[in-house]
Amino acid sequence: MTVEAQLPLRYVTPPAWAAVALARPLELLNDHAHLEKKAATNALELLNRWPEPRAPENWVTAMTAVARDEVEHLATVSRLLARRGGRLTRQHANPYASELHKLVRKGRGKEELIDRLMISALIEARSCERFKLLGEAVKDDAELRKLYRGLWASEHGHYRTFIQLAEQILPQEVVSARWDQMLDAEATLIARQAPGPRMHGGT
């Protein structure tokens, strides 16, 4: 099975995206570091949002594991950024993630929760797709290639974790119908992002 076949995404990023993103490598690393930080915060935020009346058995373990991985990624990426002469900025905007979060059905209990899990899964899956393209594009930079290839596997595991948790919360047909809508929405959203040195930038 190819890597692409393992991802459910409905917009395929053209490989030329990676060349544009890598043209400003320090800005890309800064953007990437902020995404890792947000992924860590998001996992901790989800940690005690478990569905009532009590958390599924693996809930806390899963969220803790994701948060720990993301903090590790943040450390790796920000170290690399600093070593290459870049600085982590204080502010960071991610219009792609902000737009995805607008899809959350707030105040709807378990429906809100599966939306949050699916958005987390989508961000992980899209990052996976982008890491693969970056890994292939940085032929002359062994350090970056190793970074991107290593992250691919980790983020792919996270994508699976979030979806599996959603499947424990509501019946399978409800989850798959919502996932279908979310995949369509994500494809539209990512396709209209402006191009630039960002992990979730457009082409």
Instruction: List interacting residues with Fe ion (CB under 5 A).
Output: 36, 39, 70, 73, 124, 155, 158
39 vs 122, beta carbon nearer Fe ion = 39
* Closest to 119 in 3D by CA, of 133, 98, 95: 98
State the nearest-atom distance from the C-beta of 74 to Fe ion, in Å.
Answer: 8
Torsion of CA 33, 38, 43, 46, to 10 degrees: 180
Torsion of CA 83, 87, 88, 89, to 10 degrees: -170
> What phi, psi does 195 have (nearest 5°)?
-70, 160
Q: What angle do CA 139, 145, 146 make, to 5 degrees?
A: 145
State the nearest-atom distance from the C-beta of 108 to Fe ion, in Å.
Answer: 25
106 vs 146, beta carbon nearer Fe ion = 146
CA dist., res. 121 & res. 66, Å (int): 12
State the nearest-atom distance from the C-beta of 31 to Fe ion, in Å.
Answer: 13
31 vs 70, beta carbon nearer Fe ion = 70
124 vs 186, beta carbon nearer Fe ion = 124
State the nearest-atom distance from the C-beta of 52 to Fe ion, in Å.
Answer: 26
